[in-house]
């Protein structure tokens, strides 16, 4: 038997400690959350991606009465970016959740399906993306989607 330990490296920042670029990305994610379609849960999630060409792409969760036909904010943004900028890697993603009109106190992390999509995007472009999980006062940042999903399913599994 061989035992392996898997660790996740998260850096915690206060909102005021963010760089201007990270603050802009967090603000764009918050703005996107305001446009989410969440009539059933009132849990609005926004995402903002920074592409290598400097473009910022926004996405938000889209609920559907025929659950689980909706889609998370992160996947809406990633799929839009991949469809419209197919050759441009994603450098960073910020995600924020809003409940009852207020940003959640704790940062909200991407769900498992979104983590897999983010890892696939990194595999696709051969580049890591920083992920910012934004709470009311605190932002948790990881250097790569593989920090959130270290043993992800990828093209090597299909061989």
- E strand spans, 61-116: 90-99, 102-103
Catalytic residue (choose from 63, 74, 122, 147): 74
Q: What is the DSSP string of 23-59?
A: HHHHHHHHHHHTT-B-TTT-EEEEEEEEETTS-EEEE
For residue 31, which of 71, 59, 63, 1 has the smallest C-alpha distance? 59
Distance CA 58, CA 76 (A): 8
- 120 catalytic? Reply is no
- Positions marked active-site: 74
């Amino acid at each position: 038997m061989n035992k392996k330990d898997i660790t996740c490296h998260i850096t915690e920042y206060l909102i005021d400690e963010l760089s201007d670029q990270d603050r802009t990305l967090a603000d764009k994610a918050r703005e996107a959350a305001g446009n989410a379609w969440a009539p059933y849960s009132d849990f609005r999630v926004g995402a903002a991606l920074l592409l290598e060409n400097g473009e910022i792409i926004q996405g938000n969760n889209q609920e559907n009465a025929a659950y689980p036909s909706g889609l998370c904010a992160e996947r809406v943004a990633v799929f839009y970016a991949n469809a419209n900028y197919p050759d441009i890697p994603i450098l960073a993603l910020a995600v924020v959740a809003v409940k009852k009109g207020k940003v959640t106190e704790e940062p909200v992390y991407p769900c498992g399906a979104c983590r897999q999509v983010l890892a696939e995007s990194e595999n696709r472009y051969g580049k890591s993306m920083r992920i910012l999980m934004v709470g009311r006062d605190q932002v948790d940042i990881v250097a790569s989607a593989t920090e959130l999903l270290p043993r992800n399913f990828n093209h090597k599994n299909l061989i």
